[in-house]
Amino acid sequence: MAAINEAAFRDVISGKKCGWLPAIARCLLRVASVPYGWAASIRSRLYDRGLLPIYRAGVPVISVGNLTAGGTGKTPIAALLCQRLTQLGCRPALISRGYRAAADGSNDEKRVLELLVPGTPHTQQPDRVAAARKLLELPPGLSPDVIVMDDGFQHRRLHRDLNLLLLDATCPFGFGAMLPRGLLREPLHALRRADAVLLTRANLVNEIDLRTIRQRVLQIAPKLNGRILQVSFVPHGFRDATGERSALSELLGQPIFLMTAIGNPEAFLATCLQAGLAVVGYRWFPDHHHYTTADLTAVLDEAQTNRAGIVMTTLKDLVKIRDCSERFLALDIEAALPLSEDNRCLDELLKQVTGQTR
Give the pLDDT band of residue 263 (cuts 50, 70, 90).
confident
Give pLDDT, residue 70: 79
CA–CA distance, 254 with 308 (Å, rounded to integer): 8
Higher pLDDT, 326 or 290: 290
Would you tell me how many other CB atoms lie within 10 Å of the CB of residue 301?
10
Give the pLDDT band of residue 1 (cuts 50, 70, 90).
very low
150-154, 186-190, 260-264: the lowest-pLDDT one: 260-264
Q: Given a cut of 80, is residue 4 above it in pLDDT?
A: no
Sheet bearing 122-124, strands edge to edge: 122-124, 92-96, 146-150, 61-66, 162-168, 196-200, 228-230
Do residues 65 and 166 lie in contact, with contact meaning Cβ atoms separated by under 8 Å?
A: yes
DSSP 141: T
Q: Sketch the domain layout of the chain as residue ranges.
A: 61-231+337-353, 235-335
Tens-place pLDDT, residues 302-324: 999 999 999 999 999 998 886 66
- Give the DSSP H/E element, type plus range, for residue 258: strand 255-260
At position 149, the amino acid (one-letter code) is M
Give the pLDDT band of residue 173 (cuts 50, 70, 90).
very high
Mean local confidence (pLDDT), 171-179: 95
Give pLDDT, residue 324: 67
Do residues 67 and 167 lie in contact, with contact meaning Cβ atoms separated by under 8 Å?
A: yes
- Cis peptide preceding 121, ω within 30 of 0: no
CA–CA distance, 229 with 339 (Å, rounded to integer): 8
The string of DSSP codes covering 66-99 is ESBSS---HHHHHHHHHHHHHHTT--EEEEE--T
CATH number of 235-335: 3.40.50
107-111-113 Cα angle (round to 5): 115
Mean local confidence (pLDDT), 101-120: 80
CA–CA distance, 121 with 99 (Å, rounded to integer): 18
Residue 324: burial class (beta carbons within 10 Å; 0-12, 13-18, 19+): middle
User: Could you check whether 61-231+337-353 and 235-335 share the same CATH topology?
Assistant: yes
Tens-place pLDDT, residues 202-238: 999 999 999 999 999 999 999 999 999 999 999 989 9
Point out which residues pair with 147 in neighbouring strands: 61, 93
Q: How far is CA 281 from the centre of its chain?
A: 24
pTM reported for the whole predicted model? 0.92
Give the pLDDT band of residue 358 (cuts 50, 70, 90).
low
CA–CA distance, 311 with 87 (Å, rounded to integer): 35
| CATH homologous superfamily for the domain 61-231+337-353 | P-loop containing nucleotide triphosphate hydrolases (3.40.50.300)
Point out which residues pair with 65 in neighbouring strands: 165
Q: Given a cut of 70, is residue 7 above it in pLDDT?
A: yes
Tens-place pLDDT, residues 17-70: 989 999 999 999 999 999 999 999 999 999 999 999 999 999 999 999 999 987
- Using DSSP's 3-state secondary structure scheme, residue 181 falls into coil
1-5, 68-72, 158-162: the lowest-pLDDT one: 1-5
- Output the average pLDDT for the chain: 92
Give pLDDT, residue 102: 59
Tell me the longest C-alpha to C-alpha distance in the chain: 63
Percent of the chain clearing pLDDT 70 (strictly above): 95
Mean local confidence (pLDDT), 260-269: 90
Give pLDDT, residue 84: 97
DSSP 167: E
Size of the chain in residues? 358
